[in-house]
Amino acid sequence: MSSETVVLAVDLGTSGVKAALVTVQGRVLGWKFEPVNLLITPDGGAEQSPEEWWQAFLSASRRLLAQNLVPAGAIRAVCCSTQGEGTVPVDKDGNALMNCILWMDMRAAPYLRARFRGWPRVLGAGWLQTLRWIRLTGGMPSMSGKDPAGHMLLIREKFPEVYARTYKFLNVLDYMNLRLTGRFAATHDSILTSWVTDNRDPDQIHYDRGLVRVSGIEADKFPEIVRCTTVLGGLKAGVAATLGLTTEVQVVAGSIDNTAAAIGAGAVEDFMTHLYIGTSSWMAAHVPFKKTDVFASLASVPCALPQRYLLTALQATAGGNLAFLRDNILYHKDELLREENVPDVFKILDQIAARVPAGSNGVIYTPWLWGERAPVENRTLRAGLYNLSLHNTRADIIRAFLEGVALNTRWLVAPFEKFMGRTMAPINLVGGGGNSDVWCQIFADVLNVEIRQVRDPIQANARGAAWIAAVGLGAIAFSDVPRLVEFKSRYAPQAENRARYDDRFAVFTQIYRQMKSVYRRLNP
């Protein structure tokens, strides 16, 4: 297969849809982005419109293909990487019956507690049930209600008319593949957080009857399970016509974002770590074993690589803190905003942060805007600025935002390395945050590890989706990926900043210990 064989790679995140043309060698020829709206409800809900995703995909793809960057015949596949832990109920015709319930949605918490009560309770559920989940799946439902196990219960209890009409419950990836092919299917990784599968053999993921029964959801409402590299079929005729492609273009199942990012970051070898900084963040590494650390909320779970699991440590809000700073404080639309055209804020924030010394002149920021997932799962935590004084400036606050996310990531390092049984070094950094040279250096200093800034880091998910498709088509093997990834820069830790960041980290964790009861009281 020619090295110029091209994949239409789709990266659907919380902020919008990116369509990219990527060669099987990983070269991004061009891309277009279309934003999507986020609906936050007063009762702790977070939703998006599946139809808006689809129209955003069509719009971005048509604009991209209209550039004629390659002949239409060179595009051999479509493959998606999407946000995970979302739930879309669809009818037999594939129509979404309501908005997607997103990974941030916490409305299901009381239904989970009621469903999985038992004694003694461990991590919010009965002891025997917890042991069963961990033994079979590697994890368990988040008692915060943020994953499909909770979403489906929420729909069953709060929207019974929707539940009755539901033919299948689909994750975000599964819904996109349904629209592309007409096939109701989930991948090894997209089905994970329904917590109803036996994952002890990474190549033979299948439903466990007992877990399905305990879930409270009827077995026939779950889709079939396929590998990430499975070719689901050709594009539906109507979709192909809309995009100006043919039905010979194959749709490869693809993966959720953390699976794709690991591959797009080039971190496919055992224990090679990547750090993703987007709206949320995670550290992840492929490992040859299934294991769970319930106390640090870490687990190695099914992924795209054969005979491997992906150790993933998810944190709730990373780059989302900068978006919050931009949209809710610096450029909030009210009487104080005089400019209609908001500049490229993130580049400006980098310039400002670079002028501030390590430690942000004493200001510390905790980035828990929407609770936290790991190394503690606590949905009541909230963000905060600490140690502000009259001599501090906006520049100190901006750098503190960057350092706060890095300190939060450092919180993961000890349990992450203990899980792997070795020190992680170096780390490949991807996601939108990887565009910031200043942030890369902060991560290197705070984590005390070399950071390798992957070239075009914001394209990691699209590149990962393209490489998953290329493997599915037989064009490459996953073992080829390390030689295909390119790095823009490498950042070594600066010794002069070590003591300061060690001290800041000690204060950061002290803030958590002393404030967690306050947050629990404020956000019951």
- Contact of 119 with 126, CB cutoff 8 Å: yes
Q: Which position has the token pair 């729909």?
A: 155
27 burial type by CB count under 10 A (0-12 exposed, 13-18 middle, 19+ buried):
middle
Does domain 315-456+487-522 fall under CATH 3.20.20.70? My reply is no
C-alpha 124/C-alpha 10 separation (Å) is: 36
Cα–Cα nearest to 304, from 272, 273, 270, 258 = 258
**CA-closest candidate to residue 99, choices 107, 362, 19, 322:** 107
Beta bridge partners of 428: 274, 452
8 A C-beta contact, residue 83 and residue 13? yes
Neighbours of 513 (CB within 10 A): 8
* Distance, CA of 493 to CA of 425 (rounded, Å): 12
Residue 360 pLDDT grade (very low, low, confident, very high; cuts 50, 70, 90): very high
Residue 340 above 70 pLDDT? no
**pLDDT tens digits along 154-207:** 999 999 999 999 999 999 999 999 999 999 999 999 999 999 999 999 999 999
Amino acid at residue number 508: F
What residue ranges do the domains of the chain occupy? 315-456+487-522
Which residues does residue 20 pair with via DSSP β-bridges, in sequence order?
9, 31
Given a cut of 60, is residue 27 above it in pLDDT? yes
pTM, to two decimals: 0.90
Q: What's residue 342's pLDDT?
A: 63
**282-319 pLDDT, tens digit each:** 999 999 999 999 888 899 999 999 999 999 988 888 88
Whether the pLDDT of residue 476 is over 90: the answer is: yes
Burial class of residue 468, CB neighbours in 10 A (0-12, 13-18, 19+): buried
Backbone angles phi and psi of 308, in degrees to 5: -135, 155
152: left (phi over 0), alpha (psi -120 to 50) or beta: alpha
Please provide the average confidence, as pLDDT, over all residues in the chain.
94
pLDDT at 505 over 60: yes
DSSP per-residue codes, 307-318: T-EEEEEEES-S
Asked if the model's pLDDT at residue 336 lies above 70, the reply is no
The pLDDT, as a whole number, for residue 335 is 60
Rounded Cα gap, residues 133 and 112, in angstroms: 14
